[in-house]
A and B are shown apart, each in its own frame.
Chain A
Amino acid sequence: MAGNVDALFIFLLIVTGMVALLIFVCLLFFAARYRQRAHVHAEQIEGSTPLELTWSIIPLFVFLAIFAWGAVIYFKERTPPRDAAEVYVVAKQWMWKLEHAEGQREINELHIPVGRDVKLIMTSQDVIHSFYVPAFRIKQDVLPGRYTTAWFRATKPGIYHLFCAEYCGTQHSGMIGSIVVLEPAQYEAWMSGGSTGPLSVTGEKVFAELGCVTCHRSDAQGRGPNLQGVFGKPVLLQDGRTLVADENYIRESILDPGAKIVNGYKPVMPTFQGLLSEEQLNALVAYVKSLSGAKPGDGSGKANADAAAAQGSQVNE
C-alpha cells in the first residue's frame, strides 16, 4: 500500500510542480518583460474563449486522472482481503486495546508477522479516535457504537509508530503505540504466550451464558435463525431488502434487533443494549463469524503466516 500511495504522491508532485513552475515562470517573465516603461502602454486584450476552454478542460482531465488513481488506491485500502488475520481493536481515552483472533491481548502494542495481511475490526468505547500507522500509510477513524475496518500488510520487520490521529481530548498526543513486525519464527514464539484461548471460543462461552443458544440452535428448530454460515452471506430482510451480513450487521442484530428483521422470523429477540462490554461483543461477533467456516481465528492464523512467509515477502514499503 505504501508504495502505491507514494507513487501517486510523486506523480502529483510532478504534475502540480510542473503546473506551478509554468505559472511561476510566466509570472516572473511577464513581470520582468512588461514592467512599466515611459510611453509604452498596456495592450488591451479582451480574452480568448478557446484559451479559456483549453485551460479549463486540460486541468479537468488531469484532475480526472488523479481522481481515478486515488480512488483505486482507496478502494483497495477499504476492502480487506478475505483471508486476513483479524485483530479486534477497542479504543478508549487514551489507549489502544488490541485483541488477536487467537486470543492474545495487547495494549498500545501490536505484534504481527511480516508479510501477512492483517485486518483490524475497530470500535471505540467513548469518543472518536483514529488508528494511524504512517509507515503503512493507513488511517481509519474509530467510532463509538459501530465497527470500522482497516487492513495492511507489513513487509519489513521493525517497530513502527502507531498514532491516534483524531483529536480525542487531553492526552490525544499520548495515545500512541507501536506496531511490532516480527519474522514468522519470532512471531510464533511470541504467540505461544499469554493467550486466553481464541476469541471465538470466548465468544461461544458468552453465547451460551447469555442464552443466545436457546433461540439460535444449530438445527432449524430455534425461534431465531440458525447462525451457521450467516456471516458474509446475503440476508433477506422482512421489508424486502437484502444485505450482506458483515461485522456491523451482526453487531446491530445484537444491540438493536428490531432495526432489521430477518425474513420469516418474528421480532422476538430481546435487545442486549447496555448488557455487553465491547470485548464481549467482539467475542460474540468473532464467534458468529467462526460459524461461517474457514475463517481465521480458529488457530489457522499461524499456518497462514508461515505460508505467507514461505512465499517470501515482496518489499513494497
Chain B
Amino acid sequence: MSDSQTTAVQAAAHGHDPALLHHFAEPQQQRDAASLGMWWFLATEVMFFGGLFCAYLIYRLQHFNDFAAASQSLSIKLGAINTAVLIGSSLTVVLAVNAAQRAKRNLLVAYLLLTLVLGSTFLGIKAVEYTDKFKEHHVPGPTFHFVPERMEGHPEQPPIDQRHAEMFFSLYFVMTGLHALHMIVGIGIFVWLLVMAWKGRFTPSYNTPVEIGGLYWHFVDVVWIYLFPLLYLISRHR
C-alpha cells in the first residue's frame, strides 16, 4: 500500500468518520461505487451458478426418470428446514442493515450474531445431509450405489440408469457444495462485520460494508431458493 493511501480501516482507527478514499470526490460517490460494484459482482455470480443451472436443466430434461428417482432420496424435511433457516437469516440481515442505518450498535451486533448462528445452522444441517448421503453410498465415485425407492401405487418404475443417477448426485454435490462455499465466505464476511460493529465502526453515514455484505448474503439465499425446488422437489407425487 503506498503511503499516500489511507484505507477506510486505517481512517476508522483514528476514531473519526471513516475517511473518504483519496480518489473519490465525496462519500456519496464512494458509497455508490461500492454498491454498484457489488451488484455487478452479483451479476457475475449469477452467470457462475448459471453454468451449473444450465447443465442441470439439460440433464434433468434428458434423463428425467433417473433424476426424479434420485431426487426422491433427498430429505425434504431437512431441505425445507434449511430453506426456512436461510430465509430467516435473510431477515436478520436486512434488520441488521436497518439497525446500522439507525446507528443502533447493540441491535446491529445482535442481528449480525443471529445471522451467523442461522448461517452456521444451515451449514450444520447440510453437513448432516452430506453424511447421510455418504452412508447411503450416494456419493459419486467407485462406491456409488443407488437403489430407487419404489413408491407405493407405482410398482413399475422404469429401470434406473445408474450413471444418470450418479450424475444427479454429482450435480447435487457440485451445486450445493458451491453454494455452501459461498455460505462459508459469507460467514467470514459477517464475522468481520461483527468485529467492526462491536468496535462501533459503523455510523449512519458509514455503513456501506454492512449494506453490501448484506447484498451478498441475500444473493446466496436466492440461489438456495432455486436449488431447493430444483433438487429436492422433482415429482414427489409418485
Q: Give the interface of A toward B (CB within 8 A).
A: 256-259, 261, 266-271, 273
Known: A258-B66, A259-B63. A267 touches B161 (CB 8 A): no
Q: Give the interface of B toward A (CB within 8 A).
A: 62-63, 65-66, 156-161, 163-164
In the complex, residue of chain B having the shortest beta-carbon distance to the beta carbon of A238:
B158
Give the CA-CA distance A266 to B158 in the complex, in Å: 8
Determine the chain A residues whose CB is within 8 A of the CB of B160 once the complex forms: 258
Interface of A is mostly: loop
Give the CA-CA distance A256 to B162 in the complex, in Å: 10
Contact at B156–A270, with CB atoms within 8 Å? no
Can you list 27 residue pairs at the A/B interface with Cβ under 8 Å?
A256-B161, A256-B164, A257-B158, A258-B65, A258-B66, A258-B158, A258-B159, A258-B161, A259-B62, A259-B63, A259-B65, A259-B66, A259-B158, A259-B161, A261-B158, A266-B156, A267-B156, A267-B158, A267-B159, A268-B156, A268-B159, A269-B159, A270-B159, A271-B159, A271-B161, A273-B161, A273-B163
Determine the chain B residues whose CB is within 8 A of the CB of A270 once the complex forms: 159
A256-B161, A259-B161, A261-B158 are known contacts; what are 5 more A-B pairs with Cβ within 8 Å? Answer: A257-B158, A257-B159, A258-B160, A268-B159, A273-B163
In the complex, residue of chain A having the shortest beta-carbon distance to the beta carbon of B163:
A273
Question: Shortest Cβ distance from A5 into chain B, in angstroms?
Answer: 32
Question: Shortest Cβ distance from A236 into chain B, in angstroms?
Answer: 16
Give the CA-CA distance A269 to B159 in the complex, in Å: 8
Give the CA-CA distance A103 to B15 in the complex, in Å: 88
Question: Shortest Cβ distance from B63 into chain A, in angstroms?
Answer: 7
Question: Shortest Cβ distance from B146 into chain A, in angstroms?
Answer: 13
Determine the chain B residues whose CB is within 8 A of the CB of A261 once the complex forms: 158
**Most chain A CB within a 10 A radius of its CB, from B65, B156, B160:** B65
Determine the chain A residues whose CB is within 8 A of the CB of B158 once the complex forms: 257-259, 261, 267
User: What 8 pairs across the A-B complex have the smallest Cβ distances?
Assistant: A258-B158, A267-B158, A258-B159, A256-B161, A266-B156, A258-B65, A261-B158, A267-B156
Question: Shortest Cβ distance from B33 into chain A, in angstroms?
Answer: 33
